[in-house]
Amino acid sequence: MPPEASAVAKRLRLPIGIQIFREISEEGHYYVDKTGLALDSATPTTMWTRCLRPSCLG
């Protein structure tokens, strides 16, 4: 089997609509841990920007 074919066979599913971490990890869904990114952005020297949504989106 070529390397490209094996990479496609091992592709993880996206956890669309799943909010329970145990289900994501046990059922083999794709997950990216962004904890470090959140901790890095929460430094006292960081200027926070508030992103507002248009009211038509709810």
Q: What is the pLDDT of residue 31?
A: 86
Q: What is the pLDDT of residue 36?
A: 80
**DSSP per position, 26-50:** HTTB-----HHHHHHHT-TTPPP-P
Q: What is the pLDDT of residue 22?
A: 92
Q: Where are the domains of the chain?
A: 7-34
Closest CA to 33 of 46, 21, 43, 41: 21
pLDDT, one tens digit per residue, over 9-54 is 578 888 899 989 899 989 889 888 888 877 776 666 555 666 666 6
Backbone angles phi, psi at 5, to 5 degrees: -70, -40
Looking from the CA of 36 toward its CB, the CA atoms found within 13 Å total: 2
With tokens 């496609």, the residue in question is 8
Q: For residues 3-9, give the mean pLDDT.
A: 56
Q: What is the pLDDT of residue 32?
A: 86
Q: Is 56's pLDDT higher than 80?
A: no
